[in-house]
Amino acid sequence: MSLVLLISAALLIRSLVGLLRSDLGIRTEKVLTMEAALPRDRYNKADQLDFYARLLSRVESLPGVVEAGATDSVPISGRGASSTAIQIVGRADFQKGKEPTVERRVATPGYFNAIGTALRRGRLFTERDDANAPRVVLTNETMAKRSFPGQEPIGQRLRLGEGANSTLEIIGVVADVRNEDLTDEIDPTVYLPYSQNPLSTMNMIIHTSQEPGLLAAAARDEVRALDRSVPVSQVKTLSRMIDERLSPKRLLTYMLAGFAGIALLMASVGLYGVMSYMVVQRTREIGIRMAVGARAGDVSKLIVGRGLKLTMIGVTLGLIGAAVSTRALSYFLFGVTATDPLTFAGIAMLLSGIALAASYLPARRAARVDPMAALRHE
């Protein structure tokens, strides 16, 4: 049981460390987010474009703001983006109902620099990509690789949605982003320019040069200055969002680590107690062995060997149990498999070493037994 818990805890710890070190495709520090929702009955498409353009301009002028942008869905927020079917212009259409789907996100030109998503090739949106310009789109690396293997995606054209007639030209490829859960696979994603796809609800992404929480009140005030009736919500730093997504995994890791530590202590104390009891029970036998010529080293080997035999039985059963039980943790793991051989071997060696130490102390005491005293005692 100790081995099962130790291996489970080690897998979760390695997974958590891997998550913290992984490239999420976004800037995780000094980024503030907030959501503004415009009343649809008072804001038409043109008004929506004007409101967010003025809001971003005002926010960028605040002291401490480096860059600002907006998107309809913030990565890692737990509020997933919409998905849509795609058709690739110049290829045979996919059968109806069997079209591949991609995540669909809307962003302003400054969004990618504000959140730190790198451009891999091509260009990002600019102010010129407005409603009067040709319709354009960005893709992430995953979509570029899946949809255009061995081809140049820049200049390719897509149709989004069932029955769509208008086409969009791919003008750039951006880095992959873990948009949903940190452990989920990255989905093919397209980004549409906000000026060609206005929405009433958008999320501000504000990159700051100072503690982002200090700018929350000022950013709220800028919204109120434009329209006091516009509700502002989800005011959070991006690092807090990531912590919220990690908290269940972190809690589970800490719990299992605590239980594993207790189990390890109980296993060590238990083995020490068993071996000590065995030494007491076999005191007369040990005395006779030493009286007829056995050396202290021979007695130590006898006791330690018994302890190692018990340990190997336990380790073998524990490895089998761990191989079965850790499969239930697969959903929580990142960058490590549920049967990772390095973890299994390392924990088995650790437990064997501790068990060896627990056997050594009784063995050392047995090797110091005075044969005459032991025989007189009997």
- The residues pairing with 122 across neighbouring beta strands, listed in sequence order, are 172
**The pLDDT of residue 108:** 95
**The pLDDT of residue 208:** 94
**The pLDDT of residue 114:** 94
Angle between the N-to-C axes of helices 216-226 and 45-60, in degrees from 0 to 180, rounded to the nearest 10? 140
The answer to whether 260 touches 329, Cβ cutoff 8 Å, is: no
**The pLDDT of residue 61:** 93
Percent of the chain, pLDDT > 70?
89
- Spell 145-163 as b/e; 16+ CB within 10 A means b: eebbeeeebbebbbbbeee
How far apart are alpha carbons 251 and 237 in whole angstroms? 21
pLDDT digits (tens, 9 = 90+) for 16-72: 887 777 778 888 889 999 999 999 888 999 999 999 999 999 999 999 999 999 999
Helix, strand, coil abundance in the chain, percent, nearest 5: 50, 20, 30
The whole-number mean pLDDT for each consecutive block of 10 residues of the chain, a chain of 378 residues, reads 85 81 83 93 92 94 94 82 83 76 92 94 93 93 91 91 77 88 79 94 94 90 92 90 80 81 81 76 68 69 79 88 85 82 90 81 69 55
- Identify the burial level of 332 via C-beta atoms within 10 angstroms of its C-beta, where 0-12 means exposed, 13-18 middle and 19 or more buried: middle
**The pLDDT of residue 217:** 92
Read off the tokens for 312: 């190997």
- Residue type at 72 in one-letter notation: D
Residue with tokens 């000590």: 276
DSSP string, 275-311: HHHHHHHTHHHHHHHHHTT--HHHHHHHHHHHHHHHH
Read off the tokens for 105: 């996100």
pTM to 2 decimals? 0.74
Q: Determine which helix (DSSP H) or strand (DSSP E) holds 65, and give its type and residue range.
A: strand 65-71
Neighbours of 235 (CB within 10 A): 17
The answer to whether 85 touches 78, Cβ cutoff 8 Å, is: no
The distance from CA 257 to its chain's CA centroid, rounded to whole angstroms, is 18
The answer to whether 331 touches 183, Cβ cutoff 8 Å, is: yes
**The pLDDT of residue 34:** 94
CA 74, 76, 80, 86 dihedral sign is: positive
The ranges assigned to domains in the chain are 2-17+244-377, 39-229
Among 302, 315, 309, 297, which residue's Cα sits nearest to residue 351?
315
